[in-house]
A = this chain, B = another copy of it.
Amino acid sequence: MTIIDGKQTSATIKEEIRQEVIKIKEGGGKTPSLAVIIVGDDGASRTYVHNKMKSCEQVGFLSTVIEYPESIDEATLMAKIDELNKDAEIDGFIVQLPLPKHIDENKVIEAIDPSKDVDGFHPINLGRMMIGLPAFISATPAGIVDLLERYNIETEGKHCVVLGRSNIVGTPVSVLLSRKSKPGNATVTICHSRTKNINEVCLTADILIVAIGQKEFVTGDMVKEGAVVIDVGMHRVKSDLTKSGWKLYGDVKFDEVAPKCSHITPVPGGVGPMTIVSLMKNTLLAMKRRAAE
């Protein structure tokens, strides 16, 4: 049984990006530049943004954070997006979600220039991905595909079961893995809250991708011997077992499931660290596409 080390893989990819950026700069190219808009004081959002900035620094990107209070009106936010769309210095930018309820998230996302939408949330990037055109792939699906690729896990002709149909994980990863590409070419089943006999379906999976948002939902009896299990869940629970007083759990009951797997991602240290790497890859790609125009 191999534990898929997302922390190590993300460090390797970051180093590859760092080396590429050094070469680009040496060749007189532009330093990739990412901007992040954050609205309000949500602690988790602030941590995510902080980590994104730190990663930018590690790989040699420029980064900018634009902060707004919770009370910001939609028009001001839209004006800033318009400004970033036009700013030739900025290769890509994201608006950290969630936004306050008085702001229409879909409207905000659709206002981002798709060529700078390094989160890959703009519908045109989802649609382009769906039909196999060049697109920014959103962070978690891209991170999952990267892990499968880096660990040489064959997907062609395999039965891949995806638990969860969210817009940012389940649905796009199911499309990605069924596409005619590598990784890809899998037979994909997408399951969700309305799926009957979900245990039986899981038992048929060669590759099981779990993004159902329920702590330790997948138990040992749901997994076939030799399966590959990718756990996207992240549940922070108070605990006396750790120094921090918190323990992280995934959507998979790791101790039960791991012994049956050929490969499994842990939580933490599996899919999580890969998501920031995907953002860095997209930003680099955005810069290169703009430079090639």
Contacts and interface: CB of A to CB of B under 8 A. Distances in A.
Contacts of A54: none
A273 to B, nearest CB: 26
Contacts of A174: 178, 190
Given A123-B127, A165-B179, A188 B190 contact: yes
Interface residues of A, number: 36
A187 interface: yes
Given A165-B179, A196-B187, A106 B124 contact: no
B191 A190 contact: no
A259 interface: no
Work out how many copies of this chain go into the complex. 2
Interface stretch (A129-137, A229-237, A241-249): A129-137
B179 A175 contact: no
Nearest to A158: B196
Given A157-B195, A187-B189, A190-B188, A167 B123 contact: no
A189 B132 CA distance: 19
Interface string A193-213: 011100001000000000000
Contacts of A113: none
Nearest to A128: B123
A185 interface: yes
A192 interface: yes
B190 A185 contact: no
6 contacts: A123-B128, A127-B128, A127-B130, A130-B172, A187-B191, A187-B201
